[in-house]
A = this chain, B = another copy of it.
């Protein structure tokens, strides 16, 4: 059947005859499709504004919280294609997150009072800022259920740190950053005692507390520094979302609240429920805080330590003019500071208005000590009417506001009415409204909470999708609707289902601000951002067994992975041994990830190029445990396998040698070598095709050629082994190494063909 020969001929011929159809835009073709699919002309325009052909890039990247899935969701705008779920508070095996020892250590940072947690309720992502604009370096995200904050590095889209708030017992409001990411702000939600002990509810007013945490971010280390962070103590209201002041209001921050009634429910004993008691008063309080002064007071030792954390008590804050309250329409959801920092927009969700406060008026009232009284905790209350700029009727249930690139233009999500209202906060008038489907929570404009919003697109983060998509059972996806805001009227462009998680807030950054890396430095621990002590180079792989004085033994593997084998392929241990496996991915090629899964031990690693990861487990059962690569990395991927053999304690091997399942002859070897030599000629032709063209003008091709060169180098090594074995008359090994040599040639051919196709499709020119 001469298969190999036929492969050879294909190596140079398959790219032929694949003419890309182009031709004229047949007038009737589009209309025909529209008719068949029931599309309107408006639909076609929306399609044209969002469709992104193969290889195309999105203009913006959005980062959405995944709610109680504990993840962060990354998607492109305007294509609305989801690019990645980043594991944050929840283990995720595809990424090896919470499976390799390195990321387990990150998750373990998030243990709360000794309890290991395997989820988080993520709410509000924030991108690090420099001078009030997104800089694309870091992403912060909070957990509401357990008051935590995670730091994600946008160099590799991995979670690097989780910090636990030692005072709060819940934390909806966060994360929000100050204009130069000096601090990451989070606020408590449901009041609770700062201490961890039991305090009865009849001491709610006296001993339960809220608060706002300012997490100090050490940009040089890329980590939060809890020792330099602090809490500003607040009354037992349910503090909610915050926003940092900027420009005019830099140094201040704003946190709203609900349930300033301090109501405690108990419907099970006949009391009206929380929802009744927490929405009875007409107003709640916006907390206005001078965080710069608070930080100074903490630095001066004016705070105190509770549970080892810095706290600025209410009385100290009040005495030093750090905290003020402003009445705001009840049960507000969002507080958003205008790009120039001069206005603060608050929406009471049971109201039909947004309230625009003037920072200038707030400062004047504070300076004039013009207070409308104090709250029960002695905090001065500024008179609402004195500090309001305007109130605008925007719809029933306004929640959050985002800013347009156009001066004074904002968008507010309207929950009950299921709408977005576009309005002018300077002139105080509604400009446009659009229905969404259904019940919008947050909304997101492009860089819409920075000093320089980008306009163009708006995304409505809708909670319900009931009749929008094909049904998938009682648990529905949510619906992110893309809206074109470039014109005078808003236009709906696209409905995107969210297949996993319940996003709350999202932020969108210009894609060109992100410069993620495509590989790690060799032997890298990506979670600590440092060279792994377990880094292993090619040829230096080893397996050691060492026992301690108590007879406890550890088998430690310093291994590597590369297309298409794991080194070692056999690991031996004795029952009861601790097994530690460290694996370094030797690939230099982008996207050449390898995985590592093992039967019966809950082991699943993801090893991106350059990375070193580890797994540790106890081999507590004797037996045979296959392991293999879980990423389809090459044609020989399924053969990327091995065995952990766990012998019973004290096992004595009988003398036996491994019998070959198949025996090869000199003829087999010579046939294989002949194939390889022919294959090399074909590879040479592909190489000639590539090098005859201006391939160096195409970075993608340069990378492929680099990788192909590596593979050919490996082929050379295998060939030397084959020839050495043949010289000794060992045709069994000669044949096997000759086949390995051919396998490297096939990998080379794979790369060469992709490079050749790329050059053909991208109009490369002959240069010689």
- Could you pull out 28 A-B pairs where Cβ atoms are within 8 angstroms? A17-B433, A29-B45, A54-B495, A57-B470, A58-B470, A61-B470, A66-B94, A67-B630, A84-B500, A93-B119, A115-B600, A144-B630, A145-B599, A146-B599, A156-B474, A169-B623, A170-B599, A204-B658, A258-B639, A263-B661, A268-B568, A271-B569, A272-B721, A274-B565, A278-B636, A466-B590, A471-B514, A474-B517
> What is the chain B residue whose CB lies nearest that of A603?
B145
Residues of the B chain whose Cβ atoms lie less than 8 Å from the Cβ of A128? none
Scoring A38, A192, A636 by chain B CB atoms within 10 A of each residue's CB, the highest score goes to A636
The interface-forming segment of A214-222, A310-318, A416-424 is A416-424
A34 beta carbon closer than 8 Å to chain B = yes
Q: Are A416 and B749 in contact (CB under 8 A)?
A: yes
Q: Are B591 and A465 in contact (CB under 8 A)?
A: yes
Q: Of B17, B472, B600, B633, which is within 8 A of A169 by CB?
A: B600
Q: Of B80, B94, B272, B474, which is within 8 A of A520 by CB?
A: B474
A44-67 vs B, CB cutoff 8 Å, 1 = contact: the mask equals 111111111111111001000011
A189 beta carbon closer than 8 Å to chain B = yes
* Complex CA–CA separation, A277 to B739 (angstroms): 8
Q: Are A739 and B280 in contact (CB under 8 A)?
A: yes
Whether A94 contacts B68 in the complex (CB less than 8 A), given A435-B18, A642-B274, comes out as yes
* Complex CA–CA separation, A591 to B516 (angstroms): 38
Q: Are A74 and B472 in contact (CB under 8 A)?
A: yes
Min CB–CB distance A319 → chain B (angstroms): 24
The interface-forming segment of A1-9, A242-250, A296-304, A402-410 is A1-9
The interface-forming segment of A226-234, A548-556, A645-653 is A645-653
Q: Are A743 and B279 in contact (CB under 8 A)?
A: yes
Q: Are B467 and A700 in contact (CB under 8 A)?
A: yes
> What is the chain B residue whose CB lies nearest that of A385?
B1
A464 beta carbon closer than 8 Å to chain B = yes
Q: Are B396 and A10 in contact (CB under 8 A)?
A: yes
Q: Are A83 and B477 in contact (CB under 8 A)?
A: yes
A366 beta carbon closer than 8 Å to chain B = no
Q: Are B93 and A70 in contact (CB under 8 A)?
A: yes
A733 beta carbon closer than 8 Å to chain B = yes
> What is the chain B residue whose CB lies nearest that of A87?
B500
Q: Report A653-700 residues with CB < 8 Å from chain B CB.
A: 653-654, 656-662, 664, 668, 672, 700
Q: Are B11 and A737 in contact (CB under 8 A)?
A: no
Residues of the B chain whose Cβ atoms lie less than 8 Å from the Cβ of A441? 632
A-B contact sample (10 more), CB < 8 A, given A47-B51, A54-B481, A465-B591:
A17-B433, A18-B434, A57-B470, A93-B118, A200-B653, A201-B643, A262-B661, A267-B565, A416-B635, A476-B591
A100 beta carbon closer than 8 Å to chain B = no
Q: Are B600 and A192 in contact (CB under 8 A)?
A: no
A740 beta carbon closer than 8 Å to chain B = yes
* Complex CA–CA separation, A422 to B627 (angstroms): 35
Residues of the B chain whose Cβ atoms lie less than 8 Å from the Cβ of A238? 638
Whether A46 contacts B42 in the complex (CB less than 8 A), given A68-B595, A630-B68, A635-B397, comes out as no
A367 beta carbon closer than 8 Å to chain B = no
Q: Are A418 and B757 in contact (CB under 8 A)?
A: yes
> What is the chain B residue whose CB lies nearest that of A653?
B200
Min CB–CB distance A396 → chain B (angstroms): 5
A380 beta carbon closer than 8 Å to chain B = no
Q: Are B58 and A51 in contact (CB under 8 A)?
A: no
Residues of the B chain whose Cβ atoms lie less than 8 Å from the Cβ of A516? 471-474
Q: Are A640 and B274 in contact (CB under 8 A)?
A: yes
* Complex CA–CA separation, A740 to B267 (angstroms): 11
Whether A10 contacts B393 in the complex (CB less than 8 A), given A204-B658, A477-B84, A626-B192, comes out as yes
Residues of the B chain whose Cβ atoms lie less than 8 Å from the Cβ of A625? 169
Whether A53 contacts B45 in the complex (CB less than 8 A), given A500-B85, A753-B396, comes out as no
Residues of the B chain whose Cβ atoms lie less than 8 Å from the Cβ of A66? 94
Residues of the B chain whose Cβ atoms lie less than 8 Å from the Cβ of A131? none
Residues of the B chain whose Cβ atoms lie less than 8 Å from the Cβ of A465? 591
Whether A272 contacts B736 in the complex (CB less than 8 A), given A51-B39, A350-B746, A499-B74, comes out as yes
A768 beta carbon closer than 8 Å to chain B = no
Q: Are A198 and B417 in contact (CB under 8 A)?
A: no
* Complex CA–CA separation, A472 to B63 (angstroms): 11
A352 beta carbon closer than 8 Å to chain B = yes
A622 beta carbon closer than 8 Å to chain B = yes
* Complex CA–CA separation, A700 to B471 (angstroms): 13
* Complex CA–CA separation, A172 to B53 (angstroms): 34
Q: Report A246-273 residues with CB < 8 Å from chain B CB.
A: 258-259, 261-269, 271-273
Q: Are A565 and B265 in contact (CB under 8 A)?
A: yes
> What is the chain B residue whose CB lies nearest that of A656?
B202
The interface-forming segment of A337-345, A357-365, A606-614 is A606-614
A449 beta carbon closer than 8 Å to chain B = no
Min CB–CB distance A81 → chain B (angstroms): 5
A489 beta carbon closer than 8 Å to chain B = yes
* Complex CA–CA separation, A423 to B746 (angstroms): 24
* Complex CA–CA separation, A150 to B229 (angstroms): 47
* Complex CA–CA separation, A417 to B261 (angstroms): 68
Q: Of B3, B51, B83, B750, which is within 8 A of A51 by CB?
A: B51
> What is the chain B residue whose CB lies nearest that of A68?
B630
5 pairs of A and B residues whose beta carbons are closest in the complex: A262-B661, A47-B51, A25-B41, A93-B119, A268-B568
A455 beta carbon closer than 8 Å to chain B = no
Q: Report A184-210 residues with CB < 8 Å from chain B CB.
A: 189-190, 192-193, 196-205, 208
Q: Report A103-160 residues with CB < 8 Å from chain B CB.
A: 112-119, 121, 144-147, 155-158
A391 beta carbon closer than 8 Å to chain B = yes
Q: Of B70, B99, B169, B565, which is within 8 A of A626 by CB?
A: B169
Min CB–CB distance A751 → chain B (angstroms): 10
* Complex CA–CA separation, A607 to B246 (angstroms): 41
A426 beta carbon closer than 8 Å to chain B = no
A382-416 vs B, CB cutoff 8 Å, 1 = contact: the mask equals 00000000010101110000000000000000111
